[in-house]
């Protein structure tokens, strides 16, 4: 997440995120698609409320016909974990004592867990310390699941709109029906894609011209814009997807962008960033990448 923020925000510094985590103005937690996200403290409770049922249902579907944990076992385990965590910070190892991964995953959807620093800091990037959100950032406000879903969709459209209903649902890890219902509650602007399909966006959201230049950028592993639910963005050309995501390397590769699309991978080698392009680069593109690489080395040093 550090490189992901650095490549998107001018003047971003590593210590600013560490301080934000320690001051509890941002938190790491499992939310959309049952994956770890970094969110503002103001967005955490709405996002938790909006995604809770979808995460619970997703875990149940995953193990329904595979002899996985039952809903009753997960609910009982959640109560046990909640008692263990009351006013405490525990490691993943401590929480998983006597509990298998699937049962912990299903039970965790009944809790409000956050990753507690120093987990998630540059020095200790593994998110392996947990606490209750109620203890770390304060009790949940009175917010409904519908209100949480509405805010979640607005946040998505601000970043990725115009988008289809399926795009929104895939990113949020939700079924189509609740997303359609939420979109009916929200004031929207409507478009049509090249095939005549419906796209929605927020009113007055900026639409940059198609010829707006996209500068060279370096992305970290597992960057959200490259995941399967973001295929519509076309940032990762499909012919290159197997080079980035494959069974031998599930955490993906670090990639670089040329003209807004993945054009190769990169690795840090001491005080150098080594580029592995997928094809021949124009001289001006390589020059821009090398200049950006120098900035990246200064950031990670």
Q: Is the pLDDT of residue 62 over 90?
A: no
pLDDT tens-digit readout, 216-255: 999 999 898 888 777 777 899 999 999 998 878 777 899 9
- CATH for 145-201 is 1.10.10
- Would you state the pLDDT for residue 194? 87
Tell me the percentage of the chain whose pLDDT exceeds 70. Answer: 99
Average pLDDT over residues 164-174: 93
> Which residues, 6 or more positions from 252, have their beta carbon under 8 angstroms from its beta carbon?
221, 222, 223, 226, 244, 245
User: Order of strands, edge to edge, in the sheet holding 36-40?
Assistant: 36-40, 26-30, 113-115, 129-132, 90-91
The two tokens of residue 142 are 């009175």
d(CA 50, CA 143): 9
**Residue reference for tokens 């295929």:** 231
Average pLDDT over residues 76-86: 95
- Would you state the pLDDT for residue 130? 95
Q: Using an 8 Å Cβ cutoff, are 115 and 29 in contact?
A: yes
Query: Which residue spans of the chain are classified as CATH 1.10.10?
Result: 145-201
Q: Is the pLDDT of residue 161 over 80?
A: yes
Average pLDDT over residues 150-164: 94
Q: Using an 8 Å Cβ cutoff, are 119 and 90 in contact?
A: no
Q: Taking all residues of the chain, what is their mean pLDDT, rounded to a whole number?
A: 92
């Amino acid at each position: 997440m550090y490189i992901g923020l650095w490549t998107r925000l001018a003047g971003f510094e590593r210590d600013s995120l560490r301080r934000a985590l320690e001051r509890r103005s941002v938190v790491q937690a499992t939310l959309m698609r049952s994956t770890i996200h970094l969110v503002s403290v103001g967005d955490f409770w709405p996002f938790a409320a909006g995604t809770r049922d979808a995460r619970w249902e997703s875990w149940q579907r995953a193990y329904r016909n595979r002899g996985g944990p039952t809903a009753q076992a997960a609910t009982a385990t959640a109560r046990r974990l909640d008692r263990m965590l009351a006013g405490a910070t525990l490691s993943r190892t401590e929480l998983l004592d006597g509990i298998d991964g699937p049962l912990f995953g299903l039970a965790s959807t009944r809790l409000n867990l956050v990753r507690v620093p120093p987990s998630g800091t540059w020095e200790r990037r593994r998110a392996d310390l947990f606490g209750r959100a109620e203890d770390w950032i304060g009790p949940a406000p009175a917010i409904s699941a519908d209100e949480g879903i509405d805010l979640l969709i607005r946040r998505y459209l601000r970043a990725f709109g115009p988008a289809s209903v399926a795009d929104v649902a895939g990113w949020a890890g939700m079924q189509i029906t609740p997303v359609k219902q939420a979109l009916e509650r929200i004031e929207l602007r409507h478009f049509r894609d090249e095939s005549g399909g419906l796209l929605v966006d927020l009113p007055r959201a900026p639409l940059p011209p198609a010829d707006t230049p996209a500068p060279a950028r370096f992305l970290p592993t597992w960057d959200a814009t490259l995941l399967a639910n973001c295929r519509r963005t076309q940032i990762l050309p499909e012919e290159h997807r197997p080079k980035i995501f494959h069974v031998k390397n599930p955490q993906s590769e670090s990639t670089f962008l040329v003209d807004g699309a993945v054009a190769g991978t990169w690795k840090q080698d001491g005080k150098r960033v080594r580029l592995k392009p997928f094809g021949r680069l124009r001289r001006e593109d390589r020059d821009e990448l090398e200049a950006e690489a120098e900035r990246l080395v200064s950031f990670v040093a």
